[in-house]
Structure 1
Amino acid sequence: MRLEVFDEDFIPERILFREQQMDRLATNLAPAEFGSRATNTICLGSPATGKTTVVKYVLNQLQNAKYVYVNCQASRTKQQIFFKIFEGLRGFYPPRGVSLQKVFSEAFKKLDSPFVLVLDDANFAEDGVIEETLLAVLKAHEVVEGVKSSAILISTDLKYLARFSSELLSVFHPDEIYFPPYSEEEIREILLDRAKLSYVNFKEEAFEEIVEETANYADLRYGLSLMKQAAIISWKLGKEAVDEECVEMAKEKGKIVFFKKMILALNEKEKEVLRAIYTSNYKRAAEIFSEVKGMSYSKFNEILRKLEYLRLIDVVTKYERGLSSVVVRRFKAEEILKAIEELK
């Protein structure tokens, strides 16, 4: 039984339904294989659409270039990102007491090949951090002669480039690669492929229930998590195959775990807005905003967009005495509120 094939960071040998995206990314990175600077790229799409998997898969094919991968949910500040770059290029953590500028310059001093910085979940970094980081990295040749650096951003915010200044866009100007949501049939094929790789036997009815649940949640990660939990339950119960009972038991446990993972990406203000949405009797965004204290309406809208990108809510425009934004809960209130409470 190979349970690791259900993990989020597992990179399969065969990536399904993302051939076009892989080809474009490989083309963008090709110059780095020949000693030149790669084409800057931004990968855009909803959560769980294969962005990170494709980027890691293609980068792992590089032979003549170096890259550093940074997840901005874990590394949100400029210092954290610069330290990751240093560690990735030098192989050890920077010493204490060294200035950030020194850390940055020392990171590139022994670099003898093109460099690609990958900033995953870029929209989770603190305000201004990505712009400052990209300006520094893409102009690293001005600090250390001969550096040939480029960047790949991964974001769930389809309008992410609108945040950047003209100064950054003059040196960044990336190729945009879009990752559309998977259809139910594509979800079925991907989960079936993982089931085969796992050597776990799933009964047809149980497998179809997982596919349906995954399509309803519109998140492949949830389906993979369900398969893993159901496989463990089946093994514990001594069953020869995963059946519907195992799936139902996995769903009870898996939902809260799944929600916790999403909520961990939120700061306290964002959790406050999420809590207000799932406790308020109001549906209109303006009315929900009235229940949230200590933030501007523009910041509130920004948080709504983030919650929508994480697929915790939907925001739709309706005509009710004029155009207004209506917030729609995607899940049961008790499930979301329980996950928030358990993370305190």
Structure 2
Amino acid sequence: MDNSSLDGLFEELLETESLFKNKEVLRPAYTPENLPHRSDQINNIATVLVSALRGHTPSNVLIYGKTGTGKTAVARYVGIELERKSDHLNVQCNVLYINCEVIDTQYRLLANLAKQFGEDVPMTGWPTDQVFFRFKEAVDSRKQVIIIILDEIDKLIKKGDDVLYNLSRMNTDLQNARVSMIGISNDLKFTEFLDPRVKSSLGEEEIIFPPYDAEQISDILRQRAAIAYKENSMDDMVIPLCSAFAAQEHGDARRALDLMRVAGEIAEREKKNIIEEEHVRQAQEKIEVDRIVEVIRTLPTQSKLALYSVMLLRNNGHRNVTTGEVYNVYRQLCRNVDTDILTQRRVTDLISELDMLGILNAIVVSKGRYGRTKEIVLSVPVESTKKVLLEDYRLNMLADFKPVLTAQMHL
């Protein structure tokens, strides 16, 4: 390949002055030095964890709240302050953060924890008991208090709660060290699936994070915008509009920060000197499409086949299709990819699940003496949805599939 054609590829882009001073402050991983409207929650967690600075074992804490209510930011903020104060007091105290959406098995969690204490544990291959023993030995090698923050703890529990049982009981085997846990979840009901013994020890303290209102989100955005963007790079209506959109999403500050960041990126691509309302509206649309695309990408194959059936009917001129029509096309698709054909009742359940995810809109209608059925309308962009579905190797062979439509379907 002739590399001379790539000369100056980024020159023109670099010559355009960026609107951002520090884009990272608008990302979820950033922990700000000040957290507006969360002083009560900060004080509640600090009141529990102060025991660590006295060399005692803090109670385990469960933190609940919807997405974007500041749970992770507050837990990490208090953790940073705790470590800072422990250094000042010359008390050994460490805070470990684990994202259970990424590290979602008992073995991987224990291996990750052991590695943070310098243990050479492979990410697969050892008996789990051996990994736990190595972690326990490393922790107990000196007098210290360890706080383990388990973010999205409900993702871990889906694969069993043995690891939580072991961690919650390990203090009885330790001579020098003490271990406490902070579990963070968006799901208020996840403890219903826990062993009662784990539930009682894990939920010694519970802290609820309420959603932010639009005014509170505006305060958060103003604080971050001052660090993230250059002066006078934003129209006055940008922050109120981001706040209003996010308030509709149950007070999701993370969504508001994403909106403000993506709006800035869109303005930059358009070579604008200022972020305007229109950029926020475009960002809202882009984020929504990206979210739906990610949901569709992670659907089980059977759900993808049901969704693709609806899309094929739509492409054949059907605007409001029924479950019977979908099932007819679904069976044809299953035969083509040589997979099990589910019952019509089960496919109807899959359609209801797609409706709950906002991918379809399924409305129950009466057909008089013919009974009741569901009329199904797509709620997602057709082209991007089709592209994501065909990324699945099993559906890829169906790219040019033409369903056989029965005469009854045209009545």
TM-score (norm 2): 0.65
Q: How does 1:204-283 map to 2 (within 5 A)?
A: 204-218=236-250, 219-260=252-293, 268=300
Q: Tell me, what secondary structure is at the counterpart of 1:14?
A: coil
Unaligned runs of 5+ in 1: 284-291, 314-330
Hey, what does 1:322 align to over in structure 2? none
The 2-side partners of 1:9 and 1:65 are apart by 22
The 1:239/1:211 distance shift into structure 2, 3 A limit, reads same
Q: Tell me, what secondary structure is at the counterpart of 1:239?
A: coil
Deviations 1:262-311 (A, max 9, x none): 667x66389769969x989799xxxxxxxx959x99xx89x97xx98xx8
Q: Give the CA deviation at 1:343.
A: 7.0
Q: Tell me, what secondary structure is at the counterpart of 2:275?
A: coil
Hey, what does 1:110 align to over in structure 2? 138
2:181 to 151, 158, 168: 151
Deviations 1:99-148 (A, max 9, x none): 2212112123233311122211111225353x211211122234443331
The 1-side partners of 2:64 and 2:288 are apart by 26
Unaligned runs of 5+ in 2: 1-20, 84-91, 312-319, 324-340, 360-377, 393-411
Q: In percent, how many aligned pairs have the same letter? A: 23
| Bigger RCO of structures 1 and 2 (CA < 8 A, at least 6 apart) | 1
1:119 to 150, 171, 188: 150
The 1-side partners of 2:95 and 2:238 are apart by 41
Q: Are positions 1:45 and 2:70 aligned together?
A: no
Q: Tell me, what secondary structure is at the counterpart of 2:55?
A: coil
The 1:234/1:39 distance shift into structure 2, 3 A limit, reads same
Q: How does 1:308-323 map to 2 (within 5 A)?
A: none
Moved more, 190-199 or 205-214: 205-214
- Are the counterparts in 2 of residues 40 and 174 from structure 1 also a CA contact under 8 Å? yes
- Are the counterparts in 2 of residues 45 and 178 from structure 1 also a CA contact under 8 Å? yes
Q: Give the CA deviation at 1:88.
A: 2.2
Larger Rg: 2
Measured on the aligned residues, the alpha-carbon RMSD in Å equals 4.0
Deviations 1:36-93 (A, max 9, x none): 1111100001111111111111111123312222211112211111112112232755
Q: Give the CA deviation at 1:170.
A: 4.4
Aligned residues: 316
The 1:269/1:202 distance shift into structure 2, 3 A limit, reads same
Q: Give the CA deviation at 1:338.
A: 6.4
Q: Tell me, what secondary structure is at the counterpart of 1:119?
A: strand
TM-score (norm 1): 0.76
The 2-side partners of 1:274 and 1:47 are apart by 29
Hey, what does 2:164 align to over in structure 1? 134
The 2-side partners of 1:194 and 1:68 are apart by 26
2:227 to 197, 215, 220: 197
The 1-side partners of 2:202 and 2:285 are apart by 45
Which AA in structure 1 matches 2:156?
A
Hey, what does 1:288 align to over in structure 2? none
Which AA in structure 2 matches 1:333?
V
Q: Give the CA deviation at 1:215.
A: 2.2
Q: Are positions 1:61 and 2:76 aligned together?
A: no
Q: Give the CA deviation at 1:236.
A: 3.4
Q: Give the CA deviation at 1:3.
A: 0.6
